[in-house]
Structure 1
Amino acid sequence: MGPSSGHHYPDDVNLKVMMGYPAASRDYSHHHHHAPPPPQFQSPHSGTYVYNAYGQPMTNDDYYKFEEAERERRAASVRRLVLLLAVILFCGMMVAAWLLCTVYAPEFSVASLKVSNFSATNTSLTGTWEAELSIHNWDKGITVQFNSVVSSLFYQEALLAMESPPSFQVPQMERYALKFNLSVLNNGDSGLNATVPPGLLQELDTGTVVFGLRVAMEAVFQTSGGVLSRDHIQIFCGNMAIVFSSHDQGSLAPGLGNTCLMSIHRE
């Protein structure tokens, strides 16, 4: 029945006691106990009080262990920073090396090779070669300066002629035609040793003689910002088959020996 029925309900505390609950004291002042604050340890360096992770005061040994751990943590951070800087420096060097190695090397080919006034016997050799070497610089940002150029003409391993063309430059994405003449050296200055190789005379009888052309020079690769590298390069153009239209004149056979091999020696 509701409260309007007139029944009187006992006090809540007495009701709880009757129902089996312990009586709650109305005086709360005796039950609110506060734990005393833990004793504080004052840092000898900072003047502040230091506690451990459990809220307990730190002793001197604990404090110095804590400072040692902090020093080790800072040292580890410095080591990680140094390692990171070393990795960044190494990666930068690798990128620079990659950029240097990916410079497009010039392409060399023989555009023309002719010989005139050619004469060969067992003990003498004469002739003048007119050579045209085509150099193509494929790089879009590199200009190549060629210095100290020395060209040589060989039959097998025997040196027949030598010449030093002037220095020249090939701008980016351009082609340059290097033209020069080579005359037969005196026997004492060449590899003939006062005799003409028998193979040359035998080939001459067939109407075709195979020569080799070598060019050594210094190549200076440079950009708008300065010199990128200085290299010594050697060009070898082998299998240069000269077809003689007459006994003393000949020219390069079409499609033979046009492409040259190149080796680079970094300074």
Structure 2
Amino acid sequence: MQDPSRPATGYPAPPFHQPNGGQAPPPATAYPYAAPPPQYYNPTYAPPRPSSLASRSFFRAFFATMICLAVVFGVILIVTWLVLRPSLPHFTLHALSVSNLSTTAQSLSATWNISFLVRNGNGKMSVSYNALRSSLFYRTNYIAESQLPPFKQDTKSESTLNATLSAAGTYLEPRVIDDLNDEKAKGQVLFDVQILASTSFRSGSWRFRTRVLKVLCRKMPVGFSSKAASGDLVGGDKECQVWT
């Protein structure tokens, strides 16, 4: 009889089942899911540096400040201009005399003495006149000119401006000479007088930009007696046009 304490022989041991077909299990990972795909790196892209960001912020702030200052300065100028309300001075032709007037077939010679009354009507602004030049014309034909000394006018003041212009053999077309002689024979010749000046307005420490002042006294009548070589302004003071 077989000893029951001995193991039974004659039967093979049951096979041991291994997962994955007997291969070693994969190594353990920290995530239960598959790893994300690697990020794409663009070698041409570089994140902005802190210094470049600071420079952009500085320039933006600088330009914004300049724009604000320009706007504020413009508003101040407009308000100042409206408060002061500068007006152009008034020019009146007070006297105009001609002496030694003589003509040839193509030339004119004479001397003109002119006197202007200049009034600054501004109550808060003085006016300075520089580079003054007075010119005389006959029917848009240039005859003579003269430089005048600069001067300054205080508020609400009036000044006298004198000018002497001479023509010695100034050329004029024969038809123009004929027209002038015809007017003179009738007792009256019309002349145009012009003044150009560089002017600036000032009120205290405020000084506005310099502007070219233009004065035109059109068709100023000068009376002549029969065959006389001299004549004077007819009809008293004459207002002149003023603009800039």
Q: Same fold (TM over 0.5)?
A: yes
Structural mapping, 1:169-248, within 5 Å: 169-187=152-170, 192=172, 196-245=176-225, 247-248=228-229
Q: What is the CA–CA distance in structure 1 between the aligned matches of 2:120 and 2:225, rounded to whole Å?
A: 34
**Given that residues 120 and 196 in structure 1 are in contact (C-alpha distance below 8 angstroms), is that contact kept between their aligned partners in structure 2?**
no
Q: What is the CA–CA distance in structure 1 between the aligned matches of 2:168 and 2:219, rounded to whole Å?
A: 21
Look up the match of 1:122: 105
Structural mapping, 1:139-178, within 5 Å: 139-178=122-161
Q: 1:196 Cα deviation (Å)?
A: 4.3
Q: Secondary structure at the match of 2:210?
A: strand
Q: Secondary structure at the match of 1:198?
A: helix
5+ residue gaps in structure 2? 1-67
Moved >6 Å (runs of 4+): none
Look up the match of 1:254: 235
Relative to structure 1, is the Cα distance of residues 220 and 185 closer, same or farther in structure 2, using a 3 angstrom cutoff? Answer: farther
What TM-score, normalized by structure 2, do the two folds share? 0.65
Look up the match of 1:107: 90
Look up the match of 1:61: none
**Given that residues 216 and 234 in structure 1 are in contact (C-alpha distance below 8 angstroms), is that contact kept between their aligned partners in structure 2?**
yes
Q: Secondary structure at the match of 2:155?
A: coil
Q: 1:124 Cα deviation (Å)?
A: 2.5
Query: Percent identity over the alignment?
Result: 26
* 1:215-250, Cα deviation, whole Å (9 max, x unpaired): 001001112214223110110001200001351010
Q: Secondary structure at the match of 2:183?
A: helix
**Given that residues 124 and 196 in structure 1 are in contact (C-alpha distance below 8 angstroms), is that contact kept between their aligned partners in structure 2?**
no
Q: What is the CA–CA distance in structure 2 between the aligned matches of 1:125 and 1:222, rounded to whole Å?
A: 42
Structural mapping, 1:30-69, within 5 Å: none
Q: Which amino acid in the other structure matches residue 239 of structure 2?
A: T
Q: 1:201 Cα deviation (Å)?
A: 1.5
Q: Secondary structure at the match of 1:103?
A: coil
**Given that residues 150 and 217 in structure 1 are in contact (C-alpha distance below 8 angstroms), is that contact kept between their aligned partners in structure 2?**
yes
Q: What is the CA–CA distance in structure 1 between the aligned matches of 2:209 and 2:76, rounded to whole Å?
A: 18
Look up the match of 2:44: none
Q: 1:109 Cα deviation (Å)?
A: 0.6
Q: 1:193 Cα deviation (Å)?
A: 5.2
- Structure number, greater radius of gyration: 2
Q: What is the CA–CA distance in structure 1 between the aligned matches of 2:174 and 2:166, rounded to whole Å?
A: 16
Give the CA RMSD over aligned residues.
2.4
**Given that residues 109 and 169 in structure 2 are in contact (C-alpha distance below 8 angstroms), is that contact kept between their aligned partners in structure 1?**
no
Look up the match of 1:95: 79
Look up the match of 1:40: none
Q: What is the CA–CA distance in structure 2 between the aligned matches of 1:228 and 1:209, rounded to whole Å?
A: 40
**Given that residues 106 and 173 in structure 2 are in contact (C-alpha distance below 8 angstroms), is that contact kept between their aligned partners in structure 1?**
no
Q: 1:202 Cα deviation (Å)?
A: 1.2
